[in-house]
Amino acid sequence: MKHQRSGHLFQGRYKAILVDKDEYAKELSGKPSINEIAEYTKSILGEDRALSRGIQIYLICKYSGKMLKEIGKHFNIGASGVSQASRRIAIKMDEDSGLRKKICRIENSLKLSIMKT
């Protein structure tokens, strides 16, 4: 042992929590996964596939903490396509209060909050 010390503080874990389940890790991180956001958005806005996809991209960019390139892989588009789709939805939200309300409903249902980075 380093420095010849013993006890809980110096041996083993000290107030550490073992995270061995994905569900628990997800809960601790507070970040929704790309699939969670995408599936829930599809279930709410399934009628308009293009709009649903744009909103999925917008919400994933806003809340997942993922890089644009990683989000793009999920949708088979490039990082610039992700950025443009997200921007288009933000503009539509400014113009359409009904869309803004739908997106707020999705955010509230998923209990999303802006991540602090």
List average pLDDT for each run of 10 residues in the chain, which is 117 residues long: 61 59 55 76 76 91 89 94 96 94 86 51
pLDDT at 85: 96
Concatenated DSSP letters for 28-88? HH-PPPHHHHHHHHHHHHTT-HHHHHHHHHHHHHHHS---HHHHHHHHT--HHHHHHHHHH
Rounded to two decimals, the pTM is: 0.67
pLDDT at 55: 92
Structure token digits, residue 40: 């829930």
pLDDT at 76: 95
Q: What is the CATH number of domain 32-110?
A: 1.10.1750.10
Q: Please report, for the chain, the start and end positions of each structural domain, with discontinuous segments joined by +.
A: 32-110
